[in-house]
Amino acid sequence: MGYGKKITGGRYHKFNKKKKYALPGIPRKVKLGIHKKKTLRVMGGNKKVVLLSAEYAVVLDPQSKKVKKVKIKNVAETPSNRFLARQNVLVKSAIIDTELGKARITNRPSQEGQVQAVLLPEKK
């Protein structure tokens, strides 16, 4: 067998240092509060607007197909992590109390500059 080969014929892979583009980003927790945004420079010199805190959500009503900007009152529950709901952290699939009723967040607020949600049907 040649150099850099295992006895089975497989290759040995050379260790590479982590590149800056492969490193994970800073985790951002979007809190419920006064609206705060931040602009980041990302790959290719592009810009990404990230959310740090929010007080309004863009809510879609599936029955009337209308979209409305409403105030968020509280984070009711977060299926992914119950401790995030206690801290009023806005994440995808969190259920929030709004002026229109309960709604589920459908986007990732920490990656985008706004909170989007879909109104949940009222339980009787």
Q: How far apart are CA 54 and CA 21, in angstroms?
A: 28
Residue 86 CA, distance from chain mean position: 17
The ranges assigned to domains in the chain are 27-119
**Cβ distance 67 to 60 under 8 Å?**
yes
Residue 27: what pLDDT? 85
Written as six digits, the tokens of 27 are 């985790």
Which pairing describes strands 89-90 and 36-41: parallel, antiparallel, or unpaired? unpaired
The domain defined by 27-119 folds into 3.10.290
pLDDT tens-place string over residues 3-58: 788 989 899 988 889 888 888 888 889 999 999 999 999 889 999 999 999 999 99
Nearest to 120 by CA among 99, 98, 106, 101: 101
> What confidence tier does 2 reach under pLDDT thresholds 50, 70, 90?
low
Segment 86-95, tens digit of pLDDT: 999 999 999 9
Contact by Cβ (8 Å): 31, 88? yes
